[in-house]
Structure 1
């Protein structure tokens, strides 16, 4: 705690802000601090299922798209851990999820600008010496003391919180659990006679696959209910992947809000489908288990929305609606795993201090510029950047790990007022309007 004016303070330390911290570290004329309320960095610990890989190639690490020579690259992590040859023989472009988490922790352990067990409780806008800056109040989670820091810019990387069903509050976690807590509660979940997984994305599919691998041992029934019209795979073709490029993000951000909103649904298959290998594995399990057996121990039903849940004796009643056939029904189960996604976590201090001055494109969506800066009604040089809840401004790749480096490059170059890292545009084969041609 001091009167020093930092260039940037990051709120939250997940992969996005960790990458930002790693890219700022070697820049001599930039300094920053990053605060995280938990005691260590854990990336989706409840979903680090053995045998699961990332959905993006290992080059989409924290730094490589900005600086392939960085000591914080995934390849250097492998080198330092004496794992280059095993990974080479692994013959996969995607790193295992467990190993990606290890990599993140390895990077975090080398950075002196990260501070854990520190919760940002307020951010106040101040003026001094003719310029504006931010006073950041930070609570030490161990002592309860409040510390004060000053910064020219803020990066809000507060992530998201689980979406849950109506009626789920107060239910025992050993019976009803969100995917974010799956591995923590798996030992209790597999004790149920009937386990229901709700959701259609990658997390739901990985849990169904994981349950299938142990179904023969425990003997439970599996039910998989999804609101989507079907279980569709991610579009992994090469040209569509260019929609995750900096060029496309620049184009997308330049569209009107209505144009962007209408475009997002067209790109859904690039973000919300299931990895083809996961769907293939699930089908293979189902096929092999069906040989010589008439057991009906797996139920998969799409086009079915689960609206709420309530206790029913020693089990739970799901209120369901098959929306295509307009069929409403209830379904009893012993255990429930919710793969229902997440909602943005916008901190109270932002809503209390800054919401009135922000331009909103929709009721809950603030306008975000190309460089990830929140757009205010009155222009300001002291920025509040955001990496949370920006699909409406940066497209379907807003949560893509590869594009996180591109966003960090934009923020660093804006903060520095110069080109610290190349921005990587002009390198894809498509263009998105004729006027973009040079």
Structure 2
């Protein structure tokens, strides 16, 4: 691995780290970027190498730890790892991980292309371990500001400003920044997360709080894979408790995992989607939303139905379904939570008292520019709908904001590009290919799009909201 690059220049604040690219967030997307940069650096001469680092608010690498259920499997092939689709010989591939863990033959005998979520998380941690010196863990970014050389000159550098829990500052100066801040929970307005109202991302971290108690009822809101997994887990873990699933559908819908439909996750599908007219983009998302959104693995659907049916035969229904319904209100009463469950058919309501309510209602993308200084955010172009204009190489199109200097520093984004790059934007399926494309753009090997023909008025970022993936 190439050595970290830190330098001091005249007029700079002493001790600022200078790099070609800094990544904000160090989840799977920017981890794949680290792998791609490192492999690029290993293939070129010293003068062509990229210097880089990442800033991550967690104290160590972690990816949806609260949903690492023991027997939950990935929904993508192990070949869609951090590197294989870009570089099949990579030392950061899942196969290399298996070899390093002395489990390659065992995995082959396992006979499935879908590892458990626990194992895939261990793989990601294993890969992240090679970049410990490149990541400022435990540092939360507070702002990204332009570095102004002289009035009217293009802004070619930005400073990423962060602070640690103990107040110690972190400041990195870079020519390019890659925003990969992830997704945040999508919770309805009527719900306030607290001691008895959870989001499923925190399931395993909150369960220990119930030690020494005997919960009588759980309510799980949502109809997707995470919701079904949460229902299954709670039903198995608490054999004396009722588990009530609440969702607007008539029943869980199966995920379309057929070979042809899965082509929507191919790297080439990103090109097709990017080049498609707006109405075609909308149709593609409508046609293939059932490959990822609010759908459940058929095997899990069958298992839950079988369990529910057997309970009806036995005369004790612990597993209950409130379908074609919605939660109209939720009130934390201190010793319990009361949900007003409203039928979408006739409007009738039923009040459920539960020890815990788990919202498995997915995630939503926040505006990725919320960390940027207003001058930087104002230079980022938006379309007529107010959405960011993102070029094919994942660089945000920029223009000269009113009264501001032009921006030549690169601002790239991973995750908030579904409107431009399609359904895989927040998923693992194309992280290997995407990271390679960003590296090619950073090094000039990929010629970027020209961007918007006419300047588009920039806007300051809205407050962040939040989002999730396949």
Mapping 1:422-437, distance limit 5 Å: none
- Work out which of the residue numbers 437, 444, 461 in structure 2 matches 1:417: 444
Equivalent residue number for residue 56 of structure 2: 36
Mapping 1:379-418, distance limit 5 Å: 381-418=408-445
Mapping 1:187-336, distance limit 5 Å: 187-188=208-209, 191-216=214-239, 219-272=240-293, 273-291=295-313, 293-312=314-333, 314-336=335-357
Shift of 1:259: 4.0
Alignment gaps of 5+ in structure 2: 1-5, 9-16, 42-48, 401-405, 448-470
Counterpart contact for 2:308–2:320, Cα < 8 Å: no
Shift of 1:254: 1.9
Q: Deviations over 1:6-29 (max 9, x none)?
A: 221100000000010011013222
When residues 257 and 356 of structure 1 are mapped into structure 2, their CA distance, relative to the original with a 3 A threshold, is farther
| 1:23 corresponds to 2:23 | no
1:376 alignment partner, SS class: coil
Q: Which moved more, 1:332-341 or 1:192-201?
A: 332-341
1:265 alignment partner, SS class: helix
1:191 alignment partner, SS class: coil
Equivalent residue number for residue 52 of structure 1: 72
| 1:370 corresponds to 2:383 | no
Aligned length: 415
Shift of 1:329: 4.5
Equivalent residue number for residue 372 of structure 2: 350
- Structure 2: distance between partners of 1:98 and 1:170: 26
Shift of 1:262: 4.5
Q: Which moved more, 1:241-250 or 1:274-283?
A: 274-283
Mapping 1:107-256, distance limit 5 Å: 107-111=127-131, 112-128=133-149, 132-169=155-192, 171-172=194-195, 175-188=196-209, 191-216=214-239, 219-256=240-277
- Structure 2: distance between partners of 1:265 and 1:351: 36
| 1:92 corresponds to 2:112 | yes
Q: Deviations over 1:130-155 (max 9, x none)?
A: 76323323334154232332212111
- Structure 2: distance between partners of 1:353 and 1:179: 37
- Structure 1: distance between partners of 2:173 and 2:254: 46
1:320 alignment partner, SS class: strand
Shift of 1:351: 6.5
Q: Which moved more, 1:120-129 or 1:88-97?
A: 120-129
Q: Which moved more, 1:236-245 or 1:127-136?
A: 127-136
The answer to which structure has the higher strand fraction is 1
Q: Which moved more, 1:153-162 or 1:118-127?
A: 118-127
Equivalent residue number for residue 436 of structure 1: none
Q: Which moved more, 1:369-378 or 1:52-61?
A: 369-378
- Structure 1: distance between partners of 2:237 and 2:166: 44
- Structure 1: distance between partners of 2:286 and 2:324: 17
- Work out which of the residue numbers 355, 360, 368 in structure 2 matches 1:339: 360
2:178 alignment partner, SS class: strand
Equivalent residue number for residue 433 of structure 1: none
- Structure 2: distance between partners of 1:41 and 1:371: 26
Equivalent residue number for residue 74 of structure 1: 94
When residues 229 and 136 of structure 1 are mapped into structure 2, their CA distance, relative to the original with a 3 A threshold, is farther
Shift of 1:359: 2.8
Shift of 1:31: 2.1
TM-score (normalised: structure 1):
0.87
Counterpart contact for 1:11–1:34, Cα < 8 Å: yes
1:135 alignment partner, SS class: strand
2:206 alignment partner, SS class: helix
Shift of 1:207: 1.1
- Structure 2: distance between partners of 1:66 and 1:56: 16
- Structure 2: distance between partners of 1:210 and 1:362: 44
2:425 alignment partner, SS class: coil
Q: Deviations over 1:145-194 (max 9, x none)?
A: 3233221211100012212233543632xx22111110112244583211
- Structure 2: distance between partners of 1:362 and 1:325: 39
Q: Which moved more, 1:28-37 or 1:193-202?
A: 28-37
